[in-house]
Structure 1
Amino acid sequence: MAMTATDFDFLRTVVSRNSGNQIDPSRDYLFESRLGGLLRAQGLTALDQLVAALKLEPDARLQRSVAEAMTINETSFFRDNSPFELLRTALLPALIERRRHIRSLRFWSAASSTGQEAWSLAMLLREHFPDLASWRIEILGTDLSAEMVERARAARYQRLEVNRGLPARFLLKYMVRIDDEWEVAPALRPLCRFEQRNLCRLPVLLDTFDGIFLRNVMLYFSAETRRHVLLEMHRALSPDGFLVLGSSEQPGMPQHWLPVLTEKTCYYRPLPAAG
Structure 2
Amino acid sequence: MKTADFEFLAKMLSERSGLMLTPDKVYLLESRLTPLARRLGLNGLDDLIQRLRTRGDEQLKRDVTNAMTTNESFFFRDQTPFKLFDEVVLPAMAQGRAREKRVRIWCAAGSTGQEPYSLAMMLKERQHKWAGWTFEILSTDIADHVLAKAKAGRYSQFEVQRGLPIQLLMKYFDQEGESWLLKPEIRNMVQFRNFNLLDRFSGLGRFDVVFCRNVLIYFDTTRKAETLEKIHGTMPSDGFLFLGAAETVLGITERFRPVKGQRGLYSPAS
Give me the TM-score of the superposition, normalised by structure 1.
0.93
Aligned position for 2:166 = 168
Q: CA 1:260–1:165 in 2, change beyond 3 Å: closer, same or farther?
A: same
Unaligned runs of 5+ in 2: none
Runs of 5+ consecutive residues of structure 1 not aligned to the other structure: none
The aligned counterpart of 1:40 is 38
Residue equivalent to 1:31: 29
**Matched AA of 1:107:** I
Whichever residue aligns with residue 167 of structure 1, its letter is P
Runs (4+) off by over 4 Å: none
Aligned to 1:248: 246
How do residues 1-275 of structure 1 correspond to structure 2 at under 5 angstroms?
3-132=1-130, 134-203=132-201, 205-252=203-250, 253=252, 255-262=254-261, 265-272=263-270
CA distance in 2, matches of 1:102, 1:215: 28
Q: What is the identity, as a one-letter code, of the residue corresponding to 1:45?
A: N
What is the TM-score with the length of structure 2 in the denominator? 0.94
User: In 1, are the aligned partners of 2:248 and 2:264 still within 8 Å (CA)?
Assistant: no
Deviation, structure 1 residue 206:
3.4
RMSD: 1.5
Aligned counterparts of 1:35 and 1:133: Cα–Cα separation in 2: 49
Q: 2:249–2:257: 8 Å Cα contact kept in structure 1?
A: no
SS of equivalent residue, structure 1 residue 89: helix
More strand by share: 1
Contact 1:216 1:246 (8 Å CA) reproduced: yes
In structure 2, distance between residues paired with 1:10 and 1:256: 33
Native 8 Å contact 1:204 1:232 kept in 2? no
Q: Which amino acid aligns with 1:98?
A: G
Distance in 2, matches of 1:23 and 1:99, equals 42
Same amino acid, percent of matched pairs: 39
Q: Against the structure 1 CA distance between its residues 204 and 78, is the aligned structure 2 distance closer, same or farther, given a 3 Å change threshold?
A: farther
Offset, 1:201: 1.0
Q: What SS does the corresponding residue of 2:130 show, helix, strand or coil? A: helix
SS in 2 for 1:79: coil
- Pick which of 222-231 and 251-260 moved more: 251-260
Q: How much has 1:177 moved relative to structure 2?
A: 1.2
CA deviation string 1:114-172 (max 9, x = no partner): 01000000011111343335422211000010101111100110010010000111111
SS state at 1:140 partner: strand
Go from structure 1 to structure 2 and tell me whether the alpha carbon gap of 1:205 and 1:232 turns closer, same or farther (over 3 Å shift): farther
Cα pair 2:104 2:209 within 8 Å, conserved: yes
Aligned residues between the structures: 269
CA distance in 1, matches of 2:123, 2:62: 35
